Amino acid sequence: MNPSIEEDFSGVNLGDKRLDRRLLKIAERLYRKPDASPAAACGGWADTVAAYRFFDNERVTSEKIFESHRPGVLQRIKEYGGDTLLCIQDTTELQYSTHQSLAGVGNLGDRGRKGFWAHSQYVLSSEAIPLGVWHARFTIPAVEDPTAKKKKVTGAQRRKTPMEEKKTFRWLEGYRLSCQLAELNPQRTVVSVMDREGDIYEIFAQRELLKKQGKPSAHWLVRLQHDRRLDEPSGHLLERVGRAPVLGSVTFEVKARPADKKERKVARSARTVVQEVRACTVDLKAPQDKEHLGPIRVRVISAREIHTPEGEEPIDWILLTSLEALTLQQASDLIGYYLVRWEIEVFHKILKSGCTVEKLQFERPERLVACICVYMIIAWRIHFLTKLGRQCPQLPCSTVFEEAEWKAVVRILKGPEAIHTEPSLGEFNLMVGRHWADTSIVKETAPLDRKQCGEEWIGSGNGLSAGQRLVRDNLFSCLR
């Protein structure tokens, strides 16, 4: 069993030891070939049938799978977490429009785009090292009756809808899960980081309520969506922060981005961004339908790009937070936390492009969701290995890989004498990445000796030893 799999699912308890063992076995097979279908990854008919039966078991739920992953997350927090933890939440669409056999799944806002939404809670250090998937909520749209007429919902009716029945409830639920993480890590500052959809007054009020009750609570950081009223005779938030004094400027790099019509994003070139920073503290007035929640004091940061290149849209952000933002250093730290939010986009990209979860073929959404949860943890592991190699390249590669794993790679790529010198994690990742496309280097290598790589890795098949197949099927796939 791969030690990484045992660590990632160390808290597994599905109520049946056979199911526990099956989860570890399936996860190991998928981890070796993350871009293959479950059938191809399992390698045999019996194991494939067993995998589909496993995902069809009513005891195998998304909550149980993430519960098995959380002890590992807490352990990595102790090792890499630092003083501040960022619990980033975001929603991504998973489309299965071409999967005609998938039943019970409606459309994603418009006809022809069948699928569902996955709202992830992704835990990272303030240095952008991914630590694990804390939770994910899956929302499956109902199948609409094509003959039924759509009923228009008025603003008054929408305001009377209980919060638990609204789509935005997933953001409040995500903040509560961040508070759960804060309770388990009392020595650290936990910050729930959200984009504009998370600009919900109930989240602000939830923290105030927990503070009054003396219960642990996470801080929050969100990008402004609504120009809210202030708790004074007149005035709005944007007007107030525009009059705040300039604290200084921050500088960071942005990567190039193609246009995205669906997300209403224009193309952007790679450049160095310089933003002018302002900050102030205001008291927000509760919305009319939420006056019982009362006014709430928040800190506001305005980060506006200056000297924007011609033809480019300026990068301007208004951030709201429960953390202090009185000095340039405090504001800069918070802007840095918001920049880390991009890592959840990378995680979702690995999930959909690297693990190809949108190609999964299941007839029932319950099976599909359970399988995606396992792939989420595998996608996190891939992200973790690459980020750790970049952030901490000086670490010995044995921090992440077993001796038999790294020696197999070094033996294949550098020769038998090189196995006596352990490379750093950064060197090891580069070693694998540089030779990813050159499959001939694997095929032309002689079989490995039992004493060099460990007896458990030796075996033959299609002309390759087990150690060579490990490089081809596992490490290359995970580090490309």
Kindly state whether residue 266 falls inside one of the protein's structural domains.
Answer: yes
Residues 343 and 412 in one domain: no
Residue 415 domain boundaries: 397-479
| Domain termination residue (choose one: 312, 341, 364) | 364
- Report which secondary-structure segment, H or E, holds 477: helix 476-479
- The mean pLDDT value for 450-477 works out to 38
Provide the domain count of the chain: 2
d(CA 71, CA 77): 10
Looking at the fold, whether 354 and 220 belong to one and the same domain comes out as: yes
- 331 touches 325 (CB < 8 A): yes
pLDDT at residue 109, rounded to an integer: 77
Task: Give domain status of residue 62, yes or no.
Answer: no
Does one domain contain both 232 and 86? yes
Instruction: Report the percent of the chain where pLDDT is more than 70.
Output: 85
Residue 434 and residue 341 in one domain: no
Is residue 353 located within the same domain as residue 466? no
Answer yes or no: is 55 within a domain. Answer: no
* Residue at a domain's end among 364, 379, 414: 364
**Res. 451: pLDDT tops 70:** no
Parallel/antiparallel/unpaired status of strands 219-223 and 189-194: parallel
Distance CA 350, CA 345 (A): 9
Q: Are residues 332 and 432 in the same domain?
A: no
Least confident stretch, 156-170, 250-264, 402-416, 459-473: 459-473
Top mean-pLDDT range of 282-291, 313-322, 434-443:
313-322
- Evaluate whether residue 26 is within a structural domain: no
The distance of Cα 427 from the centroid of its chain, to the nearest Å, equals 26
Distance CA 154, CA 276 (A): 40
The pLDDT, as a whole number, for residue 435 is 56
3-class SS letters over the chain: CCHHHHHHCCCCCCCCHHHHHHHHHHHHHHHHCCCCCHHHHHCCHHHHHHHHHHHHCCCCCHHHHHHHHHHHHHHHHHHHCCCEEEEEEEEEEEECCCCCCCCCCCECCCCCCEEEEEEEEEEEECCCCEEEEEEEEEECCCCCCCCCCCCCCCHHHHHHCCHHHCCCHHHHHHHHHHHHHHHHCCCCEEEEEECHHHCCHHHHHHHHHHHHCCCCCCEEEEECCCCCEECCCCCEHHHHHHCCCEEEEEEEEECCECCECCCCECCECCEEEEEEEEEEEEEECCCHHHHHHCCEEEEEEEEEECCCCCCCCCCCEEEEECCCCCCHHHHHHHHHHHHHCHHHHHHHHHHHHHCCHHHCCCCCHHHHHHHHHHHHHHHHHHHHHHHHHHHCCCCEHHHCCCHHHHHHHHHHHHCHHHHHCCCEHHHHHHHHHHCCCCCHHHHCCCCCCHHHHCHHHCCEECCEEHHHHHHHHHHHHHHC
Residue 472: the pLDDT is 41
Q: What is the pLDDT of residue 450?
A: 35
Alpha carbons 256 and 211: distance in angstroms, whole number: 42
pLDDT at position 460 over 60? no
Q: How far is 480 from 472, CA to CA, in rounded Å?
A: 11
Report whether pLDDT(27) > 60: yes
Query: Does 21 have pLDDT greater than 70?
Result: yes
Task: Please check whether residue 75 lies inside any domain of the structure.
Answer: no
Out of 43-47, 239-243, 277-281, 294-298, which region has the weakest mean confidence (pLDDT)? 43-47
CATH code of the domain in which 190 resides: 3.90.350.10
Helix (H, G, I), strand (E, B) or coil at 269: coil
Say yes or no: 220 and 330 in one domain.
yes
In sign, the C-alpha dihedral spanning 357, 358, 361, 365 is positive
* 410-436 pLDDT per residue, tens: 887 888 888 888 888 778 877 776 654
Cβ density class 165-190: b for 16+ within 10 Å, e for less? eeeebbbbbbbebbbbbbeebeebeb
Averaged confidence pLDDT in the chain:
84
For residue 271, is pLDDT > 60? yes
In a domain, 33, yes or no: no
Question: Which of 262-266, 352-356, 446-450 is predicted with the least confidence, judged by mean pLDDT?
Answer: 446-450
CA distance 200 to 189: 21
Write down the pLDDT at residue 146.
66
- The region of weakest confidence among 300-304, 383-387, 410-414, 453-457 is 453-457
Tell me how far apart the 2 most distant CA atoms of the chain are, in Å.
Answer: 81
Instruction: Over range 139-150, report the average pLDDT.
Output: 77
Residues 192 and 287 both lie in one domain: yes
User: For 96-140, what is each residue's pLDDT tens digit?
Assistant: 988 888 888 888 876 678 899 999 999 999 999 999 999 999 999
Same domain as 307, residue 238: yes
**Residue-level pLDDT at 454:** 37
Of 316, 342, 364, which residue is a domain's last? 364
Instruction: Tell me the pLDDT band of 34, cut-offs 50, 70 and 90.
Output: confident
Is position 19 within any domain?
no
Average pLDDT over residues 33-52: 86
The residue behind tokens 């910050």 is 191
Based on the domain organization, do 245 and 322 belong to the same domain? Answer: yes
Mean pLDDT, residues 154-161? 70
Distance of CA 213 to the CA centre of its chain: 31
In angstroms, how far is the first alpha carbon of the chain from the final one? Answer: 23
pLDDT higher than threshold 50 for residue 266:
yes
The mean pLDDT of 260-281, rounded to a whole number, is 83
Q: What is the pTM of this model?
A: 0.83
Per-residue pLDDT for 388 more than 80? no
> At which residue do the structure tokens 């590992």 appear?
72
Tell whether the model's pLDDT for residue 477 goes beyond 60: no
Helix crossing, 45-56 with 17-32: angle to 10°? 120
Is the residue at 323 inside a domain?
yes
Same domain, 342 and 411: no
Using CA atoms, how far apart are residues 319 and 317, in angstroms rounded to an integer? 6
pLDDT of residue 462: 38
Q: How confident is the model at residue 452 (pLDDT cuts 50, 70, 90)?
A: very low
Tell me what pLDDT residue 153 has. Answer: 67
Q: Are residues 138 and 179 in the same domain?
A: yes
